[in-house]
Amino acid sequence: MPMDYLRTIENAQFPLRVESTHDINNVAVLKAAGLVDAEISGTPADSPSPGEPEVAVVSGITPLGRKALADHREGGNPTKWR
């Protein structure tokens, strides 16, 4: 679950390089929600045309992401991130 992954990287040292397909998918969801700043490059592993391996580099957690983490800790509603 992306929120679990966000908690996992909360205290990480950025930039954080992510190579696991599962974790890259979490980063993509968190990025789309505006909770992390990240770049994702390469071709997804499940792509019909193979290319470079997919990699994500998380440059940090956004203020909105920090708020979501705080709300989640306090038992807030995680659907109210935006």
- Cα 14 from Cα 34, distance rounded (Å): 17
Q: Is 10 inside a domain boundary?
A: yes
Q: Is 35 inside a domain boundary?
A: yes
The structural domain count of the chain equals: 1
Query: 6-59: per-residue pLDDT in tens?
Result: 999 999 999 999 999 999 999 999 999 999 999 999 866 666 666 677 899 999
Amino acid at 32: A
21, 31, 22, 30: which is closest to 53 by C-alpha? 21
Q: Is 22 inside a domain boundary?
A: yes
- Provide the residue range defining the domain that includes 30: 2-62
Q: Is 78 inside a domain boundary?
A: no
Q: Is 77 inside a domain boundary?
A: no
Predicted model pTM: 0.81
